[in-house]
Amino acid sequence: MTAARDEFTTNEIAAFQRDGYVIARGLTDAETLARMKTVTQDGLDREITPVEYEADLHYPGAPPSRDVAGGRTVRRLKQAATRGPVFLEWMTRPAILRRLQQLLGPKIVCPLAHHNCIMTKQPAFSSDTGWHQDIRYWSFQRPELINTWTALGEERTENGGLVVIPGSHRMTFEPHQFDSEKFFRSDLPENQAVIATKVAVELRPGDVLFFHCLTLHAATRNFTTLPKWSVVFTFRPGDNAPAAGTRSAESPELLLTPGG
For 90-109, write each residue's pLDDT tens digit: 999 999 999 999 999 999 99
Q: Is the pLDDT of residue 260 over 80?
A: no
Question: Residue range 42-66: average pLDDT?
Answer: 95
User: What's the predicted TM-score (pTM) here?
Assistant: 0.95
Q: Is the pLDDT of residue 245 over 60?
A: yes
Burial class (CB in 10 A: 0-12, 13-18, 19+), 133: buried
Domain ranges of the chain: 4-255
Question: Residue range 109-118: average pLDDT?
Answer: 96
Cα–Cα distance, 148 to 233 (Å, whole number)? 5
Nearest of 149, 150, 162, 230 to residue 202 by alpha carbon: 162
Cα–Cα distance, 118 to 71 (Å, whole number)? 19
| Chain mean pLDDT for the chain | 95
Supply the pLDDT for residue 5.
Answer: 79
What CATH number labels 4-255? 2.60.120.620
Supply the pLDDT for residue 258.
Answer: 79
Contact 233, 147 (CB under 8 A): yes
